[in-house]
Amino acid sequence: MKRILLKFVVVSTMLLALLPVGAAGKIGSVNLNVVLKTAVTAEVLKALKGHGTVLTVYEELDAVTMKVKANKVALIATLPFVEAIGEDAERNGAPIDTVLATDFGDGLSTWNLDLINVTDYWFDNRQVDYDGTGVYVAVLDTGLHDSWRKYFPEERIAVEYAKSFGGGAGEVARVSTQPNKWEHDQNGHGTHVTSTILGYSLGDTPVNGVAPNVTIIPVKVLNQNGRGWSSVIAMGITYIADLKLNELKDYPVVINMSLGGSALDPIEKAAIDYAIEAGVIIVASAGNNGTMGMGYPGAYEPVISVGAAGWQEEWTIFHPDYRSSWWYLLDPSEPTPLDQIYISDFSSRSISDEQDLDVIAPGSWIVGPYQLNSGNKTSYYFLGGTSMAAPHVAGIVALMLEKNPTLSASDAEDILEVAAIPLAPGSKQVFNPSLRVWEEISWGDDATGHGFITADAALAGTPLVP
């Protein structure tokens, strides 16, 4: 069935607004994403092939990817059946920084889960009545390590739905499926993101997660360098939307995308709209560009976007008075200590009306499994980035959906925005673990969205199914 998802018409005078700077003036070939006003018929394909090579067809989105000569771009934009075009856009899922975590001892509650009121200090520490049972969370990322079974219970990973997509601009151009590559990741980003949602095993000791009873669908859309293309992201989103319309029609489904780039690509936008129409709720990181502004798809309004915050006490291990403490012994005070929360300096600000920043969650120095090569060994790192903040909120949304599986994407976003605790502009002294010095971090109201979100507040605002 035809779905008109984009409501603007592209003409040649608008190319510079849709394509990255310089794309319209390139020489040589361009990888172009084309969204149509009509279905992808044989006649449309024939017409498009007259202007370049059609690489991948997205039937659900009424869209294609093409490789065309740069001097053909303006002509393609004016074809009567073309809705929107954009050059395939690079996406990056890398954290802003990493620090090796060692000497873990017993794995217990983590400060970041305590700060959002999912757990409290020590064992038997769940503070909410929900754990994500019956909810699927698709993690569109780099996939999982070979050693994922050492970190996660097998029954929590939906291997029957796990998928890997590759290609896109700069590679083989065509978007294709890569069998089993999802569980041979050498980057580590996707495993770390998954661990925040699900929790993980530290030797024989379980470490809590935001929603430890969800079922994770790993979807690899980023390569071993943590990078990818919007055409591949769109294929991953579409794949999950189709699952929601078919095999998972009776289950709530969330997508977490801890990734982003500088512009919203039309085919990516079409995929997001298609997934939300199918009933999927999408959470994405705001980006690690600080005052340079938000990344996409996080900045796109229907997506629940998440900026990153930290807690002033998170590095007390390095303070001379706290040498006996470590990450699992840190215990934020109750209620949520707003006077100790800061906005991470890397967290992207909403610098225009077109950028929609929704909520803030912990994203500064989150502990989790992380490896930079293949193999069956295990290692753990602190990672900092809005990539680490987004899965906190994806997990909270899973808890909300367990309580009320009928929530739509707009319902969930509204509840989160109302439940968030407003954060005022300010400055905080924050310890830098790399330099071993205290630094002042400042932020304005463009960095806070609707405020800091906690699980208990989000659940309190979620109505039970009548």
Contact criterion met (CB below 8 Å) for 263 and 296 = yes
189 catalytically annotated: yes
CA distances to 40, 93, 262 from 236, in Å: 19, 15, 19
The Cα–Cα gap between 186 and 222 comes to 11
SS3 179: coil
DSSP 111-161: HHHHHTTSB-SSSS-B-SS---TT-EEEEEES---TTHHHHS-GGGB-TTT
Q: Which of 141, 273, 358, 456 is catalytic?
A: 141
**DSSP label at 261?**
B
Q: Considering 189, 192, 392, 450, which one is annotated as catalytic?
A: 189
Nearby residues of 429 by Cβ (< 8 Å), 6 or more positions away: 312, 438, 439, 440
Examine the residue annotation and report whether 408 is marked as an active-site residue of this protein.
no
Take residue 390 and report the two structure tokens written for it.
């987004």
CA 88 to each of CA 174, 285, 442: distance values in angstroms, whole numbers, following the listed order: 11, 20, 35
Retrieve residue 123's tokens: 């064992």
Residue 206's nearest CA partner among 126, 127, 134 is 126
The CA radius of gyration of the chain, in Å to the nearest whole number, is: 22
Residue 258 falls in the annotated catalytic set? no
Choice among 62, 387, 450, 456 that is catalytic: 387
Angle, CA of 91, 97 and 103, to the nearest 5°: 130
Bridge-partner residues for 140, per DSSP? 219
By annotation, the residues acting in catalysis are: 141, 189, 387
